[in-house]
Amino acid sequence: MDFIFNKNQGLKKNLMIKIFFLILGLIHIGIGAALFVLSNVGSDPFNVFMQGISNHTILTIGMANSMVSLIWFVIIFFVSRKYIRLGTIFSVFILGPMIDLAMFIFSPIINNELPLSMRIVTMLIGCNIIALGVAIVYNVNLGMVPNDIMSVMIAEKTKFQFRWVRITYDVSIVIIGFLMGGVFGIGTIICAVLTGPLIQFFMPISKKYITRFLTEKL
C-alpha cells in the first residue's frame, strides 16, 4: 500500500511539475510571438493570419489567437478528439492573453521608431523564445496546441504526407493573413527557416532541465 501511495504521489507531483513547465513554455511562445509582431518586419505564419483578423475586427491579436484556437479546438473535438490533451486546453486560454500582455508591456520600447537593425534583432530574439517555448511544451508531452494539431489531423484524414500538409497549411494562412493586412516580411521567412533547427537545438537542453525536477524521468 505504501508503494502504491508513494507511486501515486510521485505521479501527481510529476503532473504538477509538467503543468508548470507547460505554462512556462506557453508563456515563452506568447512573448516570442509578441516580439515578432512588434518588430514589424514580418510575423510568424500563424500571427500574420491573426494580424489580418485583427485588422478587420475589433479583436486584438491575442483575442484573435484565442478565437481561432477555440474554433480549431471545437473542430478537432468533433473530428479527431484523440489529439486533445491537457496542453491543448491550456493553450487555448493562455497563448492569446499572453500575447496581448507582452505586447502591452513591450510596445513602449519596441515599435516602428526603433532602427530596422534593432527590430530585426528583436525578431530574432522572438524566434529563439518561441523555439524554446515549443521545445518545453513538446518535452512535457501534455499535448499540442490546436494550430499544430490541425496539420496533423488533416494529414491523417487525407493520407497526404505531413510535411506537404504543413507547408500548404502555413502558406495558406500566410496568404490569407497578408491579404487581410497582416505583415509578411523577412521575419516570416526567417521564422520558417530557423524555427525548426532552433527547436531541435533547445529540445535536449529543455529536456535536461525539466527532467531534473521529475521523480520519474522523461
**Is residue 1 a part of any domain in this protein?**
no
**Is residue 69 a part of any domain in this protein?**
yes
Mean pLDDT (the chain) is 89
* Alpha helices (H) in the chain, listed in sequence order: 2-39, 45-55, 61-80, 86-106, 116-140, 146-158, 162-179, 186-213
Predicted TM-score (pTM) of the model is 0.89
Q: What is the pLDDT of residues 167-215, one digit of tens each?
A: 899 889 999 999 999 988 888 888 888 888 999 999 999 999 898 887 6
**Is residue 4 a part of any domain in this protein?**
no
**Is residue 5 a part of any domain in this protein?**
no
Look up residue 166 and give its three cell numbers. Answer: 504543413
**Is residue 2 a part of any domain in this protein?**
no
Q: What is the tally of structural domains in the chain?
A: 1
Range of the structural domain that residue 85 is part of: 11-213
**Is residue 113 a part of any domain in this protein?**
yes
Confidence of residue 218 (pLDDT cuts 50, 70, 90): very low
**Is residue 3 a part of any domain in this protein?**
no
